Structures are given as C-alpha cells and as structure tokens.
Chain A
Amino acid sequence: MSLTRRTLLAASGAGAVALGGAACGSGGAMDPSVPLDIDVADADLSGAIGLLTPDFVGDDRAVLDDDIIAPFTKRTGVDVSVDQVDWNKLNEKISTGIAGGIIADVIMTGVGWTQPFAEKGIFAEIPADFIEGLGYDESVLVSTRYDGRYYSLPQALDLRFIGFHPELLEKKGIDSAPESLDELAQAAAELTGDGVVGLDFLSGSAGSARQAFVFLLYAFGGTMFSDDGLAPRLHEEPGRLALQWMLDCMDTGAIDYSIQAAEGQPSPFQQKKAAMSLVSTGNWPTWQTMTPELCEKGAVGTFLLPSGVDADPVMFQGGTFISISSLSKNKDAAAGFMKHMLEPDILGKASAATGKVPPTPDIPETEGIRSNLLMAFGLENLPYAGATEGGSAAYMEVRSNLDGIVETCLTGRATVDQTLADMKKLCDGAISRI
C-alpha cells in the first residue's frame, strides 16, 4: 500500500477527531445512579477506599491514621488511603479528580459546598432516616441538604467570634464587650497605636476577606442568597454596610489590610500585635503549640460579633462535612467509613485533635475537649451560629471569585457601589448556569 502525504494527514486527522470525541464524551460516562446503602454490615465490607480531607494536617495526621482509620480497618478489613489537601486547594482537587477519573470515595468539604456538588451529581444522596436518627440539631443540618435531600453530614463545626487580650483593653479603660458594631469600631480605633492594631479582621488566621465580609453581612442582617438559592442578596444594603464598616475601620487604622503573619509563624493576635481578632475554635491547637500562654484561663477574652442592626450578636459557622462520592466504586465501604467517622468516640478524638466543635454534644468528654476554652465558648453560644457561607448551588463559582472582589474594594481599587455590582453580576452569572 502506498503511503501518500494526503493519506497520512487524513489518518492523523481522523485519529485526532476520535481522540477529541473520546475526551468530550468522558464526562457522560460517569454513572452516579448506584444508590447508597447505609445498612451494610461491617462483615460484608471489603476492598479499599480513598479519603480526601483538608483537616488533620501536621501532627493531627497521626490521630487520623492511628485513632480513626486504624480501628475501622481492623474491624472491617477495608483499607483507607488518605489524600490530604489544603482548604484553598480542595475545590481544584475535587474537580481535577473528576476530570482525571480519580475521585476519592469519601470527601470532606466545608459549609456551603454541599449544594453545588450535590447539584452537579458528585455527592451521593444519604438516606434521610439515617441522618434523622442521629439526633443532630436542625441548625447544623441546614447546610447538608439540597433540594430537600441530604448529601452530607457535619463531622465538625468551626465556630468563629472575636477574641481579645484583656490587659490591652484594660489599659485603654475598656471594661466591657462592645454591644454594637459601632462600639466595636470605636474600641478598635482606641486600641490602635504603639505597634498594635485594634482589630485583626483580615489576616487569614481565622478565615479570609470573603469570610470576614460574610460574617459582617449577617451581623448587618443580610444573607448571601434568597431562601431558594436562586437570587443573590449579598449586594443589598447589608452588604453595603458590611463593606463600608470595614473601610471605615481601615480609615482609622483599626483594621490593617496588610497585617499578615509569615507562613508557620504565630498570628498577629498571638503575637499581641492585634488587641482583638477574629478567632476560630480551630485556632486552639495552634495556640497550644505556639503560644501556650494564651491557653491559660483568663489570658484571652471572647465575645460574639455584635449586631449592626440592634439584633442578636452572631457567630460564624464554618465546619467540615462528610460526603460520599456518587462515583465511588465501593460505596458500601465508603458509607461504613462515614458512619464510623460519626461515632461519638471517634468524633471526640477528631475534635480533640483539630480543635473543632463536634456536631453533637453526645460525645465522651476528653481532656483535649475540656481544656479548649474556645470550644467551650462556641458550644455555649451555638444558637447564635447563624452566619454561614453558601446557600445556593452556584456557591462554589461565587466562592472562588468573591475573595478577589472583596479585596479589590478593601484596597481601594473599586468603590463600594462597583463592588456590590460586581458581586451581583458574579452571582447572577453563576446562578444562571445551574
């Protein structure tokens, strides 16, 4: 057979098109229709599963391997391989996993993540009777539902509020917690000076500019989305007030946008370079390691973020949720591991390691939990934990761009009006694609 240039090019072109077709078609080949059976006995489980988690970093990894996974493997014979990723990279890790056809069987994500991934068919539906039998409070289950069905379960809550150094406040004659956002701004301004910033609200030790904005949004009585998740609300008046509040505080120097801790170094608050700061229950293990003096009783004071509209104060509720991949090839074992993760003694061990609050009080109290003063404060005020991210299936797309939009405003590169318009445009576009 003679080999002409035309034949060669035609064959190569056909190959390229076939490859293209194969690549285009790969998405449709995924089959998430196998239902989740939560009642399979341990003895019937086998094989191996993968766990994708952004938690249990550093020294906590040993707790995950030895105290959480090992007993499950011993009991069931199921091997669990762990894929650990930073919270900032978790979204990409899931999407690249889907694109590459290698996705973990059990996926741990955050508040606000359930609806987007459920809408895309990545998370398997969890039987409602199982979840309702766990006896969790409705407030922690709201974020686990999409379209009336459950797709995740809270494994830990990360509650955020304001921490302060009592001696710095006393020095300025401030003897009571602010009762409004105006009072908080005023106190922060008074505390600023001599190398100390009044309020560390943006340095990232307890979140990001996006989360700081969302926290304030709720403090001003707003929400991110409408109840059905199909219309944005964050660009409305509470959003304007939230942005303006931060800008006003930055004008007085009470909030310093550029204050940052170096990687692996104590936060400005831990170094007493900030008199007050957003803190989270998850900060506790870091404090114990780096600045144990802050863990002594009375060393740090805490109060909830006051309301900006004469309402109740608010607490930010982040957290870690567990879901099963709808694409898992070993859903029985994945469901078994999820149930194992939610057993009270396992929740207790996880909580002691990560410093995060268990989603149920029904856990054995350990020294790690008893000594965590931030957790104690968070649990006492759980009814105020109304500020959460998410609320729409479009949230993941919004989430990845919202940080930049808020930062652009806070650095004076966009006006408040432009910022609110950008937020609306971002949300409208994302919602139109669900």
Chain B
Amino acid sequence: MTTTAPTAATGRTAPAASPTAPEPRRHRSVRTAEKRWGLLLAAPATLHTLIWIGAPIVVAIVLSFTAYDIIHAPEFSGLENYATIFTDGLFWLSVLHNVIIAAVGIPISMFLALVFATMLNRALPGRGVFRVMIFLPHITATVAVAMIWLWIYSPSQSGLMNVVLGVVGIKPLPFLTNPDLALGSVILVTIWQGIGLKMLIYLAALQGVDEQLYEAADLDGANFVQKFFRITVPMLKPATFFILVTSLISNFQTFDLIYILTEGGPANSTSVVTYRIYQTAFQEFRVGLANAQSVILLLILVVLAFLSRRIVGGTDDD
C-alpha cells in the first residue's frame, strides 16, 4: 500500500520513500556534499551557541562543584553545594515565591491577554491605539516599570494606589513594606507588564484561525461563548503552549523587578530564585553555591517545560 504524507513546506502530499530502497551512488555523493555544506553553513550559529551559551553552562556546572569566592581560585568541593541547597530554607522559599507568582500571575495575564486579543481582533475604532497601549508595558524597560510602580505603591497619600483607596475611604496601605501585601503587589506588576506580549502572540494566532470554522458554527447556531470555547481556544492551543512555556521561563528569570521594587523583602517575602542566586554570589561571595543554585533552576525550568507540554498537550511542531 502506498502512503502519503504532507510535506513541511507546502502542505501538499507526496509519495513516501521506501526506507529499504537502495540509493543510487550519485544521489549519495550529492547528499554527502549537501551535508558538508549544511554543517559549514550551520557552523557560525553552532559556534556562537557553543561559545556564548554552551561554554557558560559548562562553566556554571563545573563551578557548581567548587567552593569559589570570586577572589581565590575555585577548590573542588564535590556535592557540598547541592547538599547545602537542600537545607537552605531561603532558597526553597524563593522557589515557592516563583511558583506562586507563576501560578497566580500567568493564568490571569494569559486570560486577560486572550480577552484583549479577541476584542482587538475585531474591527473596532481606535484598536491600533489600544493595541499599542496594552503592548507598551512590555517594551518599557523593567527599571522604568519598577520606578512607576514604586510611585503607584508609595506608602504615603501621594501614591496613586493609595490616592484611589483614599477616595473610597480606605487608609493608605503599605503595599511593598507589609509582608502580607508585598508578594501580591509584585504579582500585580508582573500581570500588568506581561499582558502586552501575550496579547500580541494571541493576536497573531487569531489571524491564522480559519474564518470558515466560525461561519460553519454560525450556520449551526453557535453563540459567541460557544464559538470562543469550541473554536478559538482549541485553535490557539499551540500559541497557548508557547506563551505558557515562555512565561514560566521568564517568570523564573524575574530579577530586576524584585531588585528595584523590594530587594526580596520585607522579611524575604518577595525573594525569588534569581535574586537569591544574586545574593549568594555577590553579597555572600559564594559563587560555587550560586552556580549550583543556577543548575537547580535550570532543572526546574526543564521540568516545568515538560509538564507544561504534558498539560497543554503541545505537539512536536510547537
């Protein structure tokens, strides 16, 4: 029986080659030449990746097995750094904070991004302006974002948030200095900053959804909500997977926002993994331990990406 499969580039179907058929010598030599050219053309990117990504990862892994204080040469210390991590309550508290920020912030920002994208995918007056407004926080430097939110959260009555609360008769709240409020305040900023890019990706994905599906649903009498959940959401699954994974990774890379807004405080209530790694390396001079923490962070991200794939059900094409 002859099978057909869609080609990656055209989507057209072509006869599948038999795996056991002998390849003519001329074809083999052409393929070998192509392979060599392929390797040669890929070499710059490969070298770049090996030198600027691979080498630092190798160095980080090597240093994670050493006692290194920046000043003196590293000394091999075996698994001591990893043993230390497992008893470092502050490191795991920081991991927990990242998990909380991700668990609360990412779903909310994804939902809002999808809502905005769906609304702004329609022919609305001034939609370009709205798109820019929502995307603006993403392209604004995090330092500037943090400074703006420092003012918004200012504990005095000059802070925007407390001005608004004052209007409804609520006393000024210490958003960033009360450990019960600080993490929630940080999450709000991550949501605000994160919606723009997610919305843009959803908007791009929405352009690719076949209009005929909606027309068919209209003929079947589906309402807006049914079309949204039965057509839009499933068709956006690859985009959702992409957003989820990149959001998880970027969530665990959050540093500058915490560094400027709270410095991990008060009472370590907003400490996150990257900030803890920074503290370990540059405040405590324990670079070997900081590298071990980085390796653990890498493993956490790999596991999260894998879990996301399983939960959202991404495919090899995602």
Contacts and interface: CB of A to CB of B under 8 A. Distances in A.
Given A410-B267, A411-B266, A121 B71 contact: yes
A120 B71 contact: yes
Contact of B154 (A15, A122, A263): A263
B277 to A, nearest CB: 12
A109 to B, nearest CB: 14
Contact of A407 (B63, B156, B268): B268
Contacts of B59: 16, 19-20, 23-24
B71 A91 contact: no
A92 interface: yes
Given A95-B283, A400-B283, A262 B156 contact: yes
B46 A95 contact: no
B78 interface: no
Contacts of A28: 72-73
A2 B71 CA distance: 43
A91 B282 contact: yes
A28 B70 CA distance: 9
A345 interface: no
A122 B72 CA distance: 11
Nearest to A429: B84
A236 interface: no
Contacts of B271: 404
Interface residues of B, number: 51
Contacts of A95: 70, 281-283, 285
A371 interface: no
Given A16-B50, A20-B55, A258 B282 contact: no
Contact of A12 (B50, B71, B269): B50
A396 interface: yes
Interface stretch (B174-182, B236-244, B246-254): B174-182
Interface in B42-78: 43, 46-47, 50-51, 54-55, 58-59, 62-63, 66-74
Interface in A377-428: 396-397, 400-401, 403-404, 407-408, 410-411, 413
Q: Which of B66, B263, B271 has the most CB of A within 10 A?
A: B263
Interface string B250-273: 000000000000011111110100
B39 A8 contact: yes
A366 to B, nearest CB: 34
B70 A27 contact: yes
Contacts of B137: none
B46 A8 contact: yes
B159 A25 contact: no
Contacts of A30: 71
A41 interface: no
A258 B175 CA distance: 9
A98 interface: yes
B150 interface: yes
Nearest to A413: B267
Interface string A73-92: 00000000000000010011
Contact of B284 (A98, A265, A396, A408): A396
B46 to A, nearest CB: 7
A5 B40 CA distance: 10
Interface of A: 2-5, 8, 12-13, 15-17, 19-20, 23-25, 27-28, 30, 88, 91-92, 95-96, 98-99, 120-122, 257-258, 260-263, 265, 396-397, 400-401, 403-404, 407-408, 410-411, 413, 430, 433
Given A24-B68, A99-B70, A396-B283, 7 more contacts: A12-B46, A19-B58, A98-B71, A400-B279, A407-B179, A411-B269, A413-B267
